[in-house]
Chain A
Amino acid sequence: MTHFGVVAIVIGLMLFIAHASSDTFASLRQAGAELSPAVRSTIFLAVLVGFASKAGAVPLHAWLPRAHPEAPSQVSALMSAAMVNLGVYGIVRVGFDLLGGGPRWWWLLVLVVGAVSAVYGILQAAMTSDLKRLLGYSTTENLGLVLIGVGAAGVFASAGAHVLAGLALTAALLHVINHAAFKTLLFLSAGSVLHATGLRDLDGLGGLRARMPVTTGLFAVGALAASALPLGNAFVSEWLLLQSLVHGLPVSGVATAITMPAAVAVVALTAGLAVATFVKAFGIGFLARPRSSAAERATESPVSMRVGMGLAALACVALAVVPAMVMPGLARAAGAADSMLGEPAVRGAVTLRLAGFAGSLSPLLVTAALLVGVAAVVAGLRLATVRRTRHGRLTHRARPTRRDARLWDCGAGPLTARMEYTATSFAEPLQRVFDDVLEPEQDVDVTHLQESRYLVDSIEYRRRVPDRIERRLYQPLLAFARAWGQAGRQLATGSVHRYLGYGFYAVAGLLVVLAVTR
């Protein structure tokens, strides 16, 4: 898959370089302006295919959820944090900078690829119970969001709305950075869990908050970010992305009027599903009680791992609270991509204000207010209870302690780990909702005793949510290739006569073609 991507990029760039005097960016940029539209589009398409596969965009994502779970976690972190971003870099660099924008349909294509990737990625992530596979699919989702931003920026730029394009591109690039930060953190935490338990399967995890408090806390930071909720860094970039789409109205044209609402719907749907996905990942994986003996025996990871995660978490928090610190850099990057986008799209340190549009948000104040609010409520409650005890019978105690109470078991006896919700179960309602898209395979095998079909001997449940694109697209392709290989083997029997015959037919055929075309 990646080889295929490399081949596509090489073909595209070779084609590009063939038309330029040298392979420096400057000469390419110069050549890009002079190319015929057909060649430019061919180059862009080839490069897009290549870089989209690097970015893990649908339908070229197949390598991503396979590679991530198998690779060591730090490598996964690197892949998700750096490698996929190269894909975005390539598209932005070639599309905006070297080819200088291009027609609108390029960017609509990018937007559509992004939209499909985002929804498909998060749906698959919502279904899986393999923690690293989930994170891998989440990468597809986030890169999809980035591509939506890039595509929107291209659409706006091609319509001449450069301020808006700058905003969209800034949002996309900020999301690249945010994603790199939280995905590194999440993969490192997943690695820490894997290290401690040997498990990636959420259905076997649980109860880690007491055994691995640091990993749990840091994963929570990453999960909060990944679900694009306030206090997380991705909230800011998704907010910017939505803002750029909201203000797309002045950019006239039917294409915008259709794509912008669709893009908004996609971003919104993705946001909703991401929340469910990461509540599952964090809630089932780390909270409640252990579901397996491996999870029960887990201990906190060594300091080196904790430090690694801590640094990534620090980056997440910093990006969440003061995203303004990266804004100048982003503005420069946007400016480098397209000289028309030089103006910084977002201003303000504490409160982010959009340049040129009415819109503001203060992540710092929201975070602070929320934290203060929580502290105030906790303190207020304490105070209320303390005052009660002064008059009550617990006067000898300075502060009332919370009493440990039994969980409600309906009087049936102690609750076992088997009575906890599982990740598979958590995803099942959503799986039902998106039944048509996901086409899950599940069956229940009931074995009866031979005496009566109402006396059950055993029941077994099986479920698989296959990657449908992989199955529909790649399996037929592979089968096709294999069939041709088989056919080819029959053609090539090793007989010299046969090869001579092929040569004869080929020449004859060529002559016929020539005769017809002349």
Chain B
Amino acid sequence: MTDTVNDAIPDNVSGNGHHDATASAGTVTQPHGQPVGHRRTALTITPAQLPDLAAGLLSEGFRVALVAGHDDGESLRAVYLFVAAQPDRRVELHLPLEAGKPHVPSLAAMSFPAGRFEREMYDLFGIVPDDHPLPARLVRHFHWPRGWHPMRRDAGDPPGFGDIEGPYPFRTVEGHGVYEIPVGPVHAGLIEPGHFRFSVVGETILNLKARLWFVHKGVEKLFHGRTPEEGIELAERISGDTAVGHTLAFCLAVEDALGLDVPPAACATRAILLELERIYNHITDIGALCNDVGHGILNAHAQHIREQLLRINAHLTGHRLLRGAIRPGTANLRQAPDLNQLAAIATDIDDIAGLALGHTVVRERFTGTAILNNQQAADLGTLGYVARASGIDIDARRDHPFHRLGPSFAVRTHTDGDVLARFLVRAEEIKTSVAMIAELLDDNLTLTPASEPSKHTGHLEVRAGTAAQPRSGVGIAEGWRGTITHRVELDTHGVLTRVKVVDPSFFNWPALPVALADTIVPDFPLTNKSFNLSYAGNDL
């Protein structure tokens, strides 16, 4: 497996790899439009052409990675990004739209995630998906005024709250004795806001609707007008527990747009940071899963390990959540991580996972709970460990690599799709991550001792002659939750004009209710924790 992975990676992956989409070996597909970036081509089409082209791409093995609206002033534009793996290919479809009457044909029938992107695009930009089967509001908060699309240039300041749209029209489950449990947006404990509406008979969940976007912060719009350097602080804060993942995707996108070369040492450093983030988040959730089944002692131990890891993070980067380590064109560690320390932690984590799985009750609670089968996981376009636990072999570290992978890398998959499978995938990924860090330590790393003031690469090494025109870039990185995609557009001055962020949670949230069919109410918190989806990364 690892061999084929390495074979699939062209030699220049660590470089900028500009304009080489057609160059990849063994590709039989004809190029879609003009090359515009790293393994990326773009095609400007009319709305009428979209369904056929999209269907063609999907049948070639592409997936919808991102759909973004753009307000170009006098006109609107929708951009559809399709990506495929092995080899890494990225195709953009640009649809210029009339500002007065922006309509696109809906792709909801052929791709579930596309249907959700379209709803998001309608709420934020007012771009209407024609014939959408379920055109209900998605991002729109019910206090937003009717017809207000916050991402439009003329949207102005956020309006004051008022009861304008009325409560969300939840689907009523027909039948005798059905009742609803409303949970959230305010929860007990430190949980982000989301409203869950269960339609239940007794303890059996008949239907679950998750309403999110209570904390739409307009992050994407906050990027506008910033330089890429100034964008870093935002990218690091998109989702607090995914600082590295989002920053990396953002930097990759900026580097793609500017045609920046990233030295291999910086790439290796970034790969280590990505794995460090994965390890500390996975162990946190492994402990939390044990806590949710009332086995508190393992959680106490997991929290202890998490704290050790956070201190290592602080030691290596100066920030417990690994902020400030990744910059466009570079990455920086204060020192190389202590492998012995990490190995000891990996052993401890192995013990915790072993103890959890050895406990009959814990294992029983995990086994068969909230099954997301392979077909569902594929249809919904899930990503990350949620997909891998349902037998989908997807991992951007291999599919959209930015650095050569060593032999210890493997995509960990399970096929059961239950809580246990998600638990196991994550436990195994920790081991892989530690092994990967061990290998990466053999590479040259970009190390700056803590005593020296953290050196900002004050200016970006922009390739001569390329900054004179508007540029776009796409960055794809495998954060610990799954594949993160950023797409940036820069104007002639190198200022960000549009940043579209897609957290894997956006794809995975709809899988939660699907997995919960036939699950009992008291198993919901456990299921929710096994998915552990981001609200901040989703709500943006």
Q: Check if A and B associate.
A: yes
A419 touches B173 (CB 8 A): no
Q: What's the Cα separation between A421 and B172 when bound, in Å?
A: 15
B204 at the interface (CB under 8 A from A): yes
A427 and B204 CA atoms in complex are apart in Å by 12
- One digit per residue, 1 when the CB lies within 8 angstroms of any chain B CB and 0 when it does not, for chain A 405-433 equals 00001111101101111111111110110
Contact B182 A455 (CB under 8 A): no
Contact A418 B112 (CB under 8 A): no
Could you tell me if B176 and A203 are in contact, using CB atoms closer than 8 angstroms? yes
Contact across chains for A412 and B173 when beta carbons are under 8 A apart: no
Of B171, B184, B203, B379, which contacts A429 at CB under 8 A?
B203
Which residues of the partner chain B approach A459 to less than 8 Å between Cβ atoms? 171, 173-175, 199, 206-207
> Is residue B491 contacting chain A, with contact meaning CB distance below 8 A?
no
Chain A neighbourhood of B115, CB < 8 A? 451-452, 455
Contacts A419-B181, A454-B514, A459-B174 hold; do A426 and B133 have CB atoms under 8 A apart? no
Q: How many residues of chain B are within 8 Å of chain A by beta carbon?
A: 39
CA–CA, A426 and B108, complex, Å? 39
A449 within 8 A of B: yes
> Is B185 located at the chain interface by the 8 A CB criterion?
yes
Contact A432 B202 (CB under 8 A): yes
Name which residue of chain A comes closest to B134, CB basis: A455
In Å, the complex CA distance between A418 and B115 comes to 30
Distance in Å from the Cβ of B324 to the closest Cβ of chain A?
A: 35
- Residues of chain B contacted by A514 (CB below 8 angstroms): none
- The one of B172, B174, B182, B380 in contact with A410, judged by C-beta atoms closer than 8 angstroms, is B182
CB pair A419–B206 under 8 Å, yes or no, is: no
Per the 8 Å Cβ criterion, residues 154-176 of B in contact with A are: 167, 171-176
Residue among B172, B193, B207, B380 with the most chain A CB within 10 A?
B207
Interface centre among A449, A454, A462 (most CB of B within 10 A): A454
Query: Closest A-chain residue to B109, C-beta based?
Result: A451
Q: Is B300 an interface residue (CB 8 A)?
A: no
Q: Are B177 and A463 in contact (CB under 8 A)?
A: yes
Residues of A contacting B173 in the complex (Cβ-Cβ under 8 angstroms)? 459-461
B148 contacts A by Cβ under 8 Å: no
B8 in contact (CB, < 8 A) = no
Q: How far is the CA of A432 from the CA of B206 in the complex (A)?
A: 15
Partner of B133, one of A413, A425, A449: A449
Expressed in whole angstroms, the Cα–Cα distance for A247 and B193 within the complex equals: 61
Inter-chain contacts of B380 with A (CB < 8 A): 454
- Known contacts: A425-B177, A425-B200, A456-B207. The answer to whether A410 contacts B183 by CB under 8 A is yes
Q: Is A129 an interface residue (CB 8 A)?
A: yes
In the complex, the chain B residue whose C-beta lies closest to that of A430 is: B202
Mask: chain B, 350-389; 1 = CB below 8 Å from A; 0 = not: 0000000000000000000000000010011000000000
A444 at the interface (CB under 8 A from B): yes
- Least CB separation from A431: chain B residue: B202
Nearest to B207 among chain A residues (CB) is: A459
B 112-134 binary contact with A (CB < 8 Å = 1; else 0): 10010000000000000000011
Which single member of A409, A411, A413, A461 contacts B206 (CB below 8 Å)? Answer: A461
Closest Cβ of chain A: how far from B247's Cβ, in Å? 32
Please determine whether B201 and A425 come into contact, CB atoms closer than 8 angstroms.
Answer: yes
Q: Which residues of B contact A452 (CB under 8 A)?
A: 108-109, 112, 115, 133, 379
Q: Does B510 contact A (CB under 8 A)?
A: yes
Contact call B175/A460, Cβ cutoff below 8 A = yes
Q: Is B178 part of the contact surface with A, judged by Cβ < 8 Å?
A: yes
B450 CB within 8 Å of chain A: no
Which chain A residues numbered 426 to 469 have a C-beta less than 8 Å away from chain B? 426-429, 431-432, 444, 449-456, 458-463
Give the Cβ gap from B514 to chain A, nearest Cβ, in Å: 7
Q: Which A-chain residue is minimally distant from B181 (CB atoms)?
A: A419
Chain B residues, CB < 8 A from A455? 108, 115, 133-134
- B112–A454 contact, CB under 8 A? yes
Of B133, B180, B187, B376, the residue contacting A451 (CB under 8 A) is B133
Contact residues in B for A422 (Cβ distance below 8 Å): 177-179, 201
A451 touches B182 (CB 8 A): no
Residue from A419, A450, A463 in contact with B182 in the complex, judged by beta carbons closer than 8 Å? A419
B292 to chain A, nearest CB (A): 19
- A442 nearest in chain B by CB position: B201
Interface residue? B297 (CB, 8 A): no
Residues in chain A near residue B182, CB distance under 8 A: 409-410, 412-413, 415, 419
Report B289 CB to chain A, min CB distance, Å: 23
* A411 cross-chain contacts in B, Cβ below 8 A: 184-186, 193
Q: CA A137 – CA B187 in complex, angstroms?
A: 42
User: Are B108 and A451 in contact, CB atoms less than 8 angstroms apart?
Assistant: yes
B182 to chain A: closest residue by CB: A412
Q: Are A463 and B176 in contact (CB under 8 A)?
A: yes
Please tell me if the beta carbons of A462 and B201 are within 8 angstroms of each other in the complex.
Answer: no
**Within A57-94, which residues are at the interface with B (CB < 8 Å)?**
none
Which of B133, B177, B187, B514 is close to A423, meaning CB atoms less than 8 Å apart? B177
Q: Chain A residues near B185 (CB, 8 Å)?
A: 410-412
Chain A residues with CB under 8 A of B431: none
Q: Contact check: which of B174, B181, B183 meets A460 at CB < 8 Å?
A: B174
* Closest chain A CB from B12 CB (angstroms): 39
Question: What A residues does B174 contact at CB under 8 A?
Answer: 458-461
Nearest-CB residue, chain A, relative to B380: A454
Q: Give, as a whole number of angstroms, the nearest-CB distance from B213 to chain A.
A: 14
Q: List B residues 189-225 near A (Cβ within 8 Å).
A: 193, 195, 199-204, 206-207
Given known pairs A444-B206, A456-B207, the reply for A420 and B179 (CB within 8 Å) is yes
Please report which residues of chain A, range 462-487, place their CB below 8 angstroms from some CB of chain B when the two chains form the complex. 462-463
Closest A residue to B184 by CB, please name it. A410
Chain B residue with Cβ nearest A426:
B202
Interface residues of A in 306-341 (CB under 8 A from B): none
Q: Give CA–CA (A344, B396) in the complex, Å.
A: 86
Instruction: For the complex formed, measure the closest distance between the CB of A417 and the CB atoms of chain B, giving whole angstroms.
Output: 9
Q: Are B108 and A424 in contact (CB under 8 A)?
A: no
With A412-B184, A415-B182, A451-B133 as contacts: A203 and B177 at CB distance below 8 Å: yes
| Chain A neighbourhood of B202, CB < 8 A | 424-429, 431-432
Q: Considering only CB atoms, which chain B residue lies closest to A414 in the complex?
A: B167
Give the chain B neighbours of A420 by CB distance below 8 A: 179
Which chain B residue lies CB-closest to A460?
B174
Task: Report the nearest A residue to B185, measured CB to CB.
Answer: A411
* List of A residues within 8 angstroms of B176 by Cβ: 129, 203, 424, 461-463
What are the nearest 7 A-B pairs in CB distance? A428-B202, A424-B177, A461-B175, A411-B186, A451-B109, A451-B133, A460-B174
Report which A residues bind B (CB closer than 8 A): 129, 203, 409-413, 415-416, 418-429, 431-432, 444, 449-456, 458-463
Can you list 15 contacts pairing A with B, beta carbon distance less than 8 Å?
A: A129-B177, A409-B182, A411-B184, A418-B179, A419-B181, A422-B179, A424-B178, A428-B203, A429-B203, A452-B133, A454-B380, A455-B115, A459-B175, A461-B174, A463-B201
Interface residues, chain B, CB within 8 Å of chain A? 108-109, 112, 115, 133-134, 167, 171-187, 193, 195, 199-204, 206-207, 376, 379-380, 510, 514
Given pairs A411-B186, A452-B108, 5 additional interface contacts (CB within 8 A): A412-B183, A421-B179, A452-B133, A462-B176, A463-B176
